[in-house]
């Protein structure tokens, strides 16, 4: 079996490096936007915190599944390897293809625009240059990672540490607040609870932890350290999310959180006054950069794994002397840059809508789905959750078809965590289909092209 060149350089990620990568990807901007939607769909503050806790438990069940998969099949690409082994190489390739063309690259582009939006909030006069700012952020982080494995690791650790310290500061401000909440119990308006919808927003806030599995071969002593990194990283995120939401409620009250589009900024505003806008903008910008860099770091390893198996994409497995799959990284950057222009700008959206109509697909309703990248994410979310559910189920499939394989980590209380995780992914698949409707068809041309490419010759068997 061919191996990526990075293998020869040693496994250089420790437990905290990997946990930092996971935290950097997951803790993006959702924690700043989701609380009003979560608490706006539950009847009480306690119910909202319970939903955040349920999201943590569901994510933990998924992490346990990935601990078994990652330690049993420590290949680059994470789900690409698991899906290929469980369901055949075409399924694995289709997963990687959709990640490359729309899912991961769309998320990278979306985070780049979040960075641009908050840059504009700090410096007036940049409103017409958001695409340029987003592109600059993407290309700068691409250059940082291209400088080498160590440079990428250090940059990720710095960005993650900065955002955690900043969020910790918000938490301390909230917990030390001694005044009365902005809204009292008497101000709380009765609502029709929808725990299912609240859980959708919570699970999106926890999304991305699975990407850490893509770098398993580069984790030092991965059989022991990969489970530690996944569980420690998710555990810290769960504690941070619960504590932050408690602080929001303490300062703003339940109705205050429901009504605030940016509860973290309101908490900071109470502490430091008018400067809160600048401080929160810097925190969100740092958070967005950490998410972008984390996705670039992990997803270029996914393409490197595809390059091992498919001669047509063999360049993706070209690693530079500094331990980076440079062709994969540049491919991701260029597609993300294309999406920034195609769905992040008014001219690009017009072109994309016309192209969709030309091939008899539904015209994107940009306004309904809150703009370019939210529309793209809505269109591809069903595909993401389908592959997510299949990845969880692959624990069962691979235990059956590959019984002789040594499993350094086995899911405790099997199969209960697998059932819970797959059930949550199927629930999200259903919700995303209901939300997107016919918009899902926009990903069909990309999927069909991937299906054709998946039939090309491979260099090895997925059973190896």
DSSP letters spanning 86-144? HH-HHHHHHHHHHIIIIIHHHHHHHHHHHHHHHHHHHSTT-GGGHHHHHHHHHHHHHHH
* Structural domains counted in the chain: 1
- Looking at per-residue pLDDT, the higher value among 408 and 367 belongs to 408
Residue 462: is its pLDDT beyond 70? no
d(CA 47, CA 49): 5
Residue 213: the pLDDT is 94
In a domain, 338, yes or no: yes
- Give the global pTM: 0.91
What residues contact residue 331 under an 8 Å CB cut-off, 6+ apart?
Answer: 100, 300, 303, 316
In a domain, 463, yes or no: no
Q: How many CB atoms sit inside 10 A of residue 1's CB?
A: 9
CATH of the domain at 122: 1.20.1740.10
What residues contact residue 260 under an 8 Å CB cut-off, 6+ apart?
Answer: 36, 252, 266
Residue 463: the pLDDT is 47
In a domain, 464, yes or no: no
In a domain, 460, yes or no: no
Confidence of residue 384 (pLDDT cuts 50, 70, 90): very high
Residue 184: the pLDDT is 62
Residue 287: the pLDDT is 92
Q: What is the mean pLDDT of the chain?
A: 89
In a domain, 426, yes or no: yes
Strand, coil or helix: what is 75? Answer: coil
Confidence of residue 266 (pLDDT cuts 50, 70, 90): confident
Mean pLDDT over 32-59 rounds to 94
Q: Which residues pair with 219 in a beta bridge?
A: 13
Residue 91: is its pLDDT beyond 60? yes
Residues in the chain: 464
Residue 370: the pLDDT is 67
Mean pLDDT over 93-118 rounds to 91
d(CA 317, CA 310): 10
From the number of C-beta atoms within 10 Å of its C-beta (0-12, 13-18, 19+), residue 350 rates as: exposed
User: What does the pLDDT look like over 201-232, one tens digit per residue?
Assistant: 999 999 999 999 999 999 999 999 999 999 99
User: What does the pLDDT look like over 330-352, one tens digit per residue?
Assistant: 999 999 999 999 888 888 888 88
In a domain, 275, yes or no: yes
Q: Which residue's structure tokens are 């996971």?
A: 22
d(CA 5, CA 369): 42
Mean pLDDT over 245-260 rounds to 90
Its domain, for residue 97, covers 5-453
User: What does the pLDDT look like over 301-323, one tens digit per residue?
Assistant: 999 999 999 999 999 999 988 88
- Contact between 336 and 100 (Cβ < 8 Å): no
Q: How many CB atoms sit inside 10 A of residue 126's CB?
A: 15
């Amino acid at each position: 079996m061919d191996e990526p060149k990075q293998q020869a350089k040693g496994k250089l990620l420790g437990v905290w490096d990997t946990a930092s990568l996971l935290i950097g990807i997951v803790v993006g901007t959702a924690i700043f936007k989701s609380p009003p939607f979560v608490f706006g769909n539950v009847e009480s503050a306690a119910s909202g915190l319970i939903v955040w806790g349920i999201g943590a438990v569901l994510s933990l069940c998924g992490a346990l599944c990935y601990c078994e998969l990652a330690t049993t099949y420590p290949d680059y690409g994470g789900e690409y390897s698991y899906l290929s082994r469980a369901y055949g190489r075409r399924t694995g390739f289709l997963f990687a293809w959709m990640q490359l063309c729309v899912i991961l690259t769309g998320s990278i582009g979306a985070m780049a625009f979040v960075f641009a939006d908050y840059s504009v909030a700090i410096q007036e006069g940049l409103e017409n240059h958001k695409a340029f700012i987003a592109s600059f952020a993407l290309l700068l982080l691409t250059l940082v990672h291209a400088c080498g494995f160590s440079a990428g690791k250090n940059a990720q650790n710095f960005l993650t540490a900065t955002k955690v310290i900043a969020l910790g500061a918000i938490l301390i401000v909230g917990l030390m607040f001694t005044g009365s909440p902005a809204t009292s119990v008497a101000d709380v308006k009765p609502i029709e609870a929808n725990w299912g919808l609240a859980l959708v927003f919570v699970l999106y806030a926890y999304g991305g932890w699975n990407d850490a599995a893509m770098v398993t071969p580069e984790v030092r002593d991965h059989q022991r350290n990969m489970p530690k990194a996944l569980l420690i990283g998710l555990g810290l995120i769960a504690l941070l999310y619960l504590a932050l939401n408690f602080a929001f409620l303490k300062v703003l009250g339940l109705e205050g959180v429901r009504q605030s589009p940016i509860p973290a900024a309101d908490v900071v505003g109470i502490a430091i006054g008018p400067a809160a806008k600048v401080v929160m903008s810097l925190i969100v910008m740092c958070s967005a950069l950490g998410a972008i860099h984390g996705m670039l770091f992990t997803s270029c390893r996914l393409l490197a794994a595809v390059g091992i198996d498919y001669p047509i994409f063999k360049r993706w497995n070209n690693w530079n002397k500094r331990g980076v799959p440079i062709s994969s990284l540049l491919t991701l950057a260029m597609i993300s840059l294309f999406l920034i222009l195609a769905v992040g700008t008014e001219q690009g959206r017009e072109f994309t809508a016309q192209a969709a109509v030309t091939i008899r697909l539904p015209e994107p309703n940009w306004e309904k789905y809150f703009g370019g990248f939210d529309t793209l994410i809505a269109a591809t979310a069903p595909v993401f959750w389908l592959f997510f559910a299949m990845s969880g189920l692959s624990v069962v499939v691979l235990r059956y078809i590959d019984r002789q394989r040594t499993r350094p980590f086995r899911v405790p209380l099997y199969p209960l965590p697998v059932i819970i995780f797959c059930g949550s992914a199927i629930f999200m698949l259903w919700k995303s289909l209901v939300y997107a409707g016919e918009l899902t068809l926009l990903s069909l041309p990309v999927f069909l092209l991937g299906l054709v490419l998946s039939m090309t010759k491979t260099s090895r068997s997925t059973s190896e």
